[in-house]
């Protein structure tokens, strides 16, 4: 009994001793593990802290290479009459290189080729040899800017600039014009309003309407392959205040590409082109006769010859079936040459030339852009009076033609064509006697609406259009060629004129396959023609234009006849 108890006591003591040693050993192991893990985390924290400090220093370097800003590059925005942006000033970055600071030329060229693979590196090498600062890339993209700045080359110099973007691209190219690399205007509004655009903070507001400009340009583009003309122009102007709602000249160009245009075919035909415009001048001849009280619309001219001789050269009618007895009104409706000569002779040389000058047709016009043409001067005489009466041997620009038609149809008041919105109104200056415009407008309406008129394809229902056609041969090196300029001067609505529309087509050709639809509601159509005259080209285009822009101008559904 005692022996057994002793065994139990010994066993219990052994077990207690074993358990105590085991627990003591475990405490040492857990402490060492914790210390090790703490050391690892502490080391990682130190590494990350060093890395953060390193990244912080890199950020400071980026701030140090922030592009310099050229404060002189500010230019005000340009908007249309409805507040749509035509020109917007935005921030961009140009990248330049200072060859003096290049450390490793070979390495730099390799890196640049990777970023800009399409550049001419033979030219870049020559620029580096000259040891003078040069621009590598203008308006650099954000992606390429990030790449080139990561090179960390001190010779690379970013320069932030305020530059111009043109949201409408080609749409207003001849009006807006261009700027050079130093942000100075070199053509168009950008040039003529250069100082104002650098000073004024609010946008420069123009009189043009983007929607009208788009629609008119689309029609001119659509008809180019139909009549195969080398160019065209259109002007839509308010006859009462001279504000130009649209001015298009084709071909045009994308302003964003900043290309130097040397091809003369890109001339602004609306303002710079100087042309003999033909029979559209007959309206001014009739107006001068009415203004001088030498004729009335029903004044009869009897036994008109088929031709006249002037300086040993014949003046003939374009239409062999022209009646020999015509009233003054019929002379304009049927576009008679001989009758127009007789009217001008009745007015007299001095009064006739004075009348044309009062309309602003003979001298260079002052305008909001510098690209305006100078009508060709000549010596007046009896023969020049005769030919000028029907638009032969006398030149002007489409812009001046628009002004002339505005004056003879708006009640006889002078207007100043403008592209820039004015906050003041000029005092009206009367050019024609009261009542002359009303008589002219009735005749112009008949040219479009009557069967004897030359502009029937513009007789669109609901618009009350009047106008006059003009077909003229182009003079090439002083010799008249078979090339033509076809023009239509339209006014609408004739009961109370609001707008004048000039449509000019430069060297169009007759189209034998084009289908003409009469716009009088009869449904009558005619396929093709052999006659390359304004009545079959410019009139057709003008009619299509007015169909498109009429609803915008709120002229549709006005009283006809």
315 Ramachandran zone, left/alpha/beta (phi>0; psi -120 to 50): beta
Mean pLDDT for back-to-back runs of 10 residues, the chain (561 residues): 43 40 47 63 66 49 47 83 94 90 92 94 93 91 90 90 89 95 90 94 96 98 97 98 97 87 89 97 98 97 92 87 94 97 97 98 97 95 96 97 98 97 82 97 97 92 94 89 96 96 97 85 77 94 96 60 34
Q: Distances from the Cα of 169 to the Cαs of 88, 213, 253, 278, 418, in angstroms?
A: 12, 12, 8, 34, 22
pLDDT value for 24: 44
Which residues have a Cβ under 8 Å from the Cβ of 32 and sit 6 or more positions away?
none
Q: How many helices (H) and strands (E) does the chain have?
A: 16, 19
Alpha-carbon span 548 to 273, nearest angstrom? 26
Question: What is the 3-class SS of 162-182, one letter each residue?
Answer: EEEECCCCCCCHHHHCCECCC
Note the helical H segments in 274-334.
282-291, 328-333
Buried residues in 158-174 as b, exposed as e (16+ CB within 10 A): bbebbbbebebebbbbb
Would you give the end-to-end CA distance of the chain in angstroms? 146
pTM: 0.80
- 75-102 burial, b if ≥16 CB within 10 A, otherwise e? bbbbbbeeeeebbebeebbbbbbebeeb
Residues belonging to the chain: 561
144 C-beta neighbours (distance < 10 Å), count = 14
Instruction: Residue 146: count other Cβ atoms within 10 Å of its Cβ.
Output: 11
Q: What is the pLDDT of residues 377-423, one digit of tens each?
A: 999 999 999 999 999 999 999 999 999 999 999 999 999 999 999 87
Please tell me the predicted confidence (pLDDT) of residue 30: 56
For residue 367, give the nearest of 81, 174, 82 by alpha carbon. 174
Backbone angles phi, psi at 474, to 5 degrees: -85, 140
E strand intervals along 340-433: 395-396
Query: Residue 31 has what pLDDT?
Result: 53
Contact at 8 Å (CB) between 407 and 415?
Answer: yes
* Cβ-contact 123, 78 below 8 angstroms: no
Taking the C-alpha atoms of residue 100 and residue 103, their distance in angstroms, rounded to an integer, is: 8
How confident is the model at residue 34, as a pLDDT?
65
pLDDT of residue 138: 85
Q: Give rounded-to-5 percent helix, strand, coil for the chain.
A: 40, 20, 40
Give CA–CA dist 140/108, Å, rounded.
Answer: 18
CB-CB contact of 444 with 283 (8 Å)? yes
Is residue 76 within 8 Å of residue 200, measured between CB atoms?
yes
pLDDT digits (tens, 9 = 90+) for 50-87: 655 554 554 434 334 555 555 556 899 999 999 999 99
Give the DSSP letter of residue 311. Answer: T
Strand partners, 313: 310
Q: Which residues of 332-356 are buried (b: 16+ CB within 10 A; e: fewer)?
A: bbbbbbbbbbbbbebbeeeebbebb
Most distant pair of Cα atoms in the chain: their distance: 171
DSSP assignment of 47-60: HHHHHHHHHHHHHH
Distance in angstroms (rounded) separating the CA atoms of residues 257 and 513: 37
The backbone torsions φ and ψ at residue 332, rounded to the nearest 5 degrees and listed phi first, read: -75, -40
4-15 pLDDT per residue, tens = 444 443 434 434
């Amino acid at each position: 009994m005692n022996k057994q108890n002793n065994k139990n006591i010994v066993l219990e003591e052994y077990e207690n001793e074993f358990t105590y040693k085991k627990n003591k050993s475990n405490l040492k192991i857990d402490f060492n593990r914790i210390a090790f893990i703490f050391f690892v985390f502490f080391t990682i924290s130190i590494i990350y802290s060093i890395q953060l400090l390193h990244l912080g220093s890199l950020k400071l370097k980026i701030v140090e290479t922030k592009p310099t800003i050229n404060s002189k590059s500010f230019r005000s925005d340009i908007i249309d009459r409805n507040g749509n942006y035509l020109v917007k000033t935005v921030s961009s970055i140009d990248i330049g290189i200072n060859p003096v600071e290049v450390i490793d030329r070979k390495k730099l060229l390799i890196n640049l080729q990777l970023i800009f693979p399409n550049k001419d590196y033979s030219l870049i090498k020559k620029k580096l040899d000259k040891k003078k600062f040069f621009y590598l890339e203008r308006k650099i993209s954000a992606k390429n800017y990030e790449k080139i700045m990561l090179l960390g080359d001190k010779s690379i110099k970013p320069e932030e600039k305020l530059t111009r973007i043109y949201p409408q691209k080609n749409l207003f190219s001849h009006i807006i014009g261009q700027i050079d690399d130093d942000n100075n205007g070199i053509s168009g509004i950008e040039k003529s309003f250069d100082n104002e655009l650098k000073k004024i903070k609010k946008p420069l507001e123009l009189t043009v309407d983007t929607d009208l400009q788009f629609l008119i340009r689309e029609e001119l583009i659509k008809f180019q392959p139909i009549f195969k003309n080398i160019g065209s122009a259109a002007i839509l102007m308010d006859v009462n205040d001279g504000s130009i709602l649209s001015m298009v000249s084709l071909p045009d160009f994308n302003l964003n590409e900043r290309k130097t245009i040397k091809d003369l075919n890109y001339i602004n035909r609306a303002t710079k082109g100087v042309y003999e415009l033909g029979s559209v001048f007959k309206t001014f001849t009739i107006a001068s006769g009415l203004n001088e009280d030498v004729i009335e619309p029903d004044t009869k001219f009897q036994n008109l010859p088929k031709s006249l001789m002037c300086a040993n050269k014949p003046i003939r009618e374009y239409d062999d079936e022209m009646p020999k007895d015509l009233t003054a009104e019929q002379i304009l409706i049927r576009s008679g040459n001989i009758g127009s000569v007789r009217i001008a002779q009745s007015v007299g040389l001095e009064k006739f030339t004075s009348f044309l000058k009062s309309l602003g047709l003979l001298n260079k016009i002052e305008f909001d852009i510098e690209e305006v043409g100078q009508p060709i001067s000549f010596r007046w005489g009896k023969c020049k009076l005769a030919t000028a009466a029907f638009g032969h041997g006398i030149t002007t620009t489409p812009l001046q033609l628009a002004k002339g038609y505005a004056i003879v149809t708006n009640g006889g008041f002078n207007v100043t064509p403008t592209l820039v919105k004015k906050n003041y109104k000029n005092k009206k200056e009367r050019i024609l006697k009261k009542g002359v415009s009303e008589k002219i407008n009735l005749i112009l309406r008949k040219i479009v609406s009557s069967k004897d008129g030359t502009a029937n394809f513009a007789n669109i229902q609901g618009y009350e259009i009047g106008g006059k056609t003009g077909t003229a041969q182009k003079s090439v090196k002083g010799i008249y060629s078979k090339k033509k300029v076809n023009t239509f001067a339209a006014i609408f609505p004739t009961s109370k004129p609001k707008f004048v529309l000039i449509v000019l087509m430069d060297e169009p050709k007759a189209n034998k396959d084009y289908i003409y639809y009469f716009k009088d509601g009869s449904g009558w159509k005619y396929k093709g023609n052999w006659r390359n005259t304004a009545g079959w080209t410019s009139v057709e285009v003008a009619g299509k234009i007015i169909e498109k822009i009429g609803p915008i101008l709120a002229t549709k559904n006005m009283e006809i006849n």
